Amino acid sequence: MRKFLVINGPNLNRLGVREPAVYGRENLKTLEHNLQQLAEQQGVHIECVQSNHEGVIIDWIHEADENFDGIVINPGAFTHYSYAIRDAIASISVPVLEVHISNVHKREAFRHESVTAPVTAGQIVGLGIYGYELAILALLQKKGE
Alpha carbon 137 to its chain's center: 13
Q: Is 18 annotated as a binding residue?
A: no
* Spatial distance between the Cα atoms of 141 and 112, rounded to a whole number of angstroms: 28
101 is in an annotated binding site: yes
80 is in an annotated binding site: yes
Instruction: Answer yes or no: 53 catalytic.
Output: no
Between CA 117 and CA 123 the distance in angstroms is 7
- Pick the catalytic residue: 33, 81, 83, 100? 100
Q: Is 25 labeled as ligand-binding?
A: no
Instruction: Based on the residue annotation, tell me whether 33 is a catalytic residue of this protein.
Output: no
CA distances from 106 to 29, 73, 118, 126 (A): 26, 20, 20, 9
Q: Is 89 annotated as a binding residue?
A: no
Q: Is 114 annotated as a binding residue?
A: no
Known binding residues: 74, 80, 87, 101-102, 111
Please list the active-site residues: 23, 100
Known binding residues for substrate: 74, 80, 87, 101-102, 111
